[in-house]
Structure 1
């Protein structure tokens, strides 16, 4: 339950509707809601009146509304690296032939903001718009490794350390050791830590002052790739990361540290 008053509770309801991944009846919402029936109904009606939810009278179901779609598009344009990185993801995908991800941090988790499928795609968790764990994904660890100590401590507190596979890091100590290694080499690996049979190499996207903007990764199945092979792609990943950071700084992500210094 949100501690941010009425707005926070309304956002909780939006998250709940979204979690079904399909239109949902009020009774289904009520079954999983932390709010009393009258409170939930009031929020649902207000959100519907505001266009944040839409109601299908024939099916008696609620779904996310078109106003949210418009807001999401604006957020994608204003706050996401995706518009800047699109060309660089296309080049990496065409050159390497494996799945390319672009991610940013979202409340200490990984938000996949764009993706290019491999020439021979395989089923995997990541999709643009989906949120994943930071402690056991290549992009997540690449970003965690370059947070300030205070931000990293907050992020680690919010990691579940659930064991997805035999390779998953399940403690703060193990994660911090891994992050030290990532900082030393400059890039991260996913050694089947989130999904069996799926590995990746990931590169942080950093400003000149070292502030984390996001991360890039190239991902593939162990049946056709090894981490040693993927490590050969470091120069291409690093070049793409630096180009994205440079364009981001010039466009929508000016480095505040540099601004203050100037």
Structure 2
């Protein structure tokens, strides 16, 4: 994924700026000092300090006076937990992921789409785990992952073009798609084929087959993948697992049919 967008969220005023600051703090994945945030910030020093104070006062951030560091606050954690239970596919999908994991003995990913980026909401490790980027709760690129492409392919035309515009097209490997036109062609092929592949596009040696999770009316609510290493399997081997992948995606969609997921 490319570098974080450093432009101020002026269209959304103070609320947008505050959320942008939360994103900057969370992106460090550790408690962070004011000067470290300031380095990434598009805001003047006084404005940033005021936003941090407000977020801390509201419990969205916590401040450690001994270390002089900021971290996500308890109130933010509570809101995130509530959002996870209400908006995440993970609780509904859990038994189906367990069954698929038992069947294929490979790494399973469950993902949802956020502004063209992949949010990994659950994961099952293979019997012999392989080191890779993805972890539950982590955000990854859409254009070079199987689950990302599977989800973008089944967006409506306007949403798909918006997602295409939000990609960085950074070349992670020699196989990465690096232009909007190449991605559009790939997404059209995915719609005709019904599954997507990661052909070592994000990480060297990591491949997957992915399927969208579609409600009966065709609305896409997530994606599912079976991921492995080229040392263990080939893409042709993964094709043999497609029926089990599709069955699991259909089972999750059936469980989610009456659940009100956000658009």
TM-score (norm 1): 0.94
| Residue 111 of structure 1 pairs with residue 110 of structure 2 | no
How many residues align? The count is: 255
Using the TM superposition, give the Cα deviation of residue 250 of structure 1 relative to its aligned residue in structure 2, in angstroms: 2.1
Residue 247 of structure 2 aligns to a residue whose secondary structure is: helix
Residue 126 of structure 2 aligns to a residue whose secondary structure is: coil
| Residue 98 of structure 1 pairs with residue 91 of structure 2 | no
Using the TM superposition, give the Cα deviation of residue 173 of structure 1 relative to its aligned residue in structure 2, in angstroms: 2.0
Measure, in 1, the Cα distance between the counterparts of 2:22 and 2:223.
Answer: 28
Residue from 3, 9, 12 that aligns with 2:20: 12
Measure, in 2, the Cα distance between the counterparts of 1:113 and 1:65.
Answer: 21
Residue 32 of structure 2 aligns to a residue whose secondary structure is: coil
Residue 251 of structure 1 aligns to a residue whose secondary structure is: coil
Using the TM superposition, give the Cα deviation of residue 31 of structure 1 relative to its aligned residue in structure 2, in angstroms: 2.4
1:137 matched residue in structure 2: 145
| Residue 213 of structure 1 pairs with residue 192 of structure 2 | no
Residue from 178, 203, 221 that aligns with 1:170: 178
2:244 matched residue in structure 1: 236
Using the TM superposition, give the Cα deviation of residue 58 of structure 1 relative to its aligned residue in structure 2, in angstroms: 1.5
| Residue 197 of structure 1 pairs with residue 205 of structure 2 | yes
Measure, in 2, the Cα distance between the counterparts of 1:133 and 1:59.
Answer: 33
Measure, in 1, the Cα distance between the counterparts of 2:188 and 2:49.
Answer: 49
Q: Deviations over 1:97-127 (max 9, x none)?
A: 1110000110111111111111111111111
Residue 122 of structure 2 aligns to a residue whose secondary structure is: strand
Using the TM superposition, give the Cα deviation of residue 28 of structure 1 relative to its aligned residue in structure 2, in angstroms: 1.9
Q: Which runs of 5+ in 2 are unaligned?
A: 1-7
| Residue 2 of structure 1 pairs with residue 12 of structure 2 | no
Residue 111 of structure 2 aligns to a residue whose secondary structure is: strand
Alignment of 1:7-156 (within 5 A): 7-156=15-164
Measure, in 2, the Cα distance between the counterparts of 1:26 and 1:139.
Answer: 36
Measure, in 2, the Cα distance between the counterparts of 1:174 and 1:26.
Answer: 41
Q: Deviations over 1:154-176 (max 9, x none)?
A: 11111111111111111222212
Using the TM superposition, give the Cα deviation of residue 34 of structure 1 relative to its aligned residue in structure 2, in angstroms: 1.2
Name whichever of 171-180 and 136-145 sits farther off. 171-180
Measure, in 2, the Cα distance between the counterparts of 1:60 and 1:158.
Answer: 34
Measure, in 1, the Cα distance between the counterparts of 2:138 and 2:161.
Answer: 24
TM-score (norm 2): 0.94
Using the TM superposition, give the Cα deviation of residue 253 of structure 1 relative to its aligned residue in structure 2, in angstroms: 4.0
1:259 matched residue in structure 2: none
2:255 matched residue in structure 1: 247
Q: Which runs of 5+ in 1 are unaligned?
A: 257-262
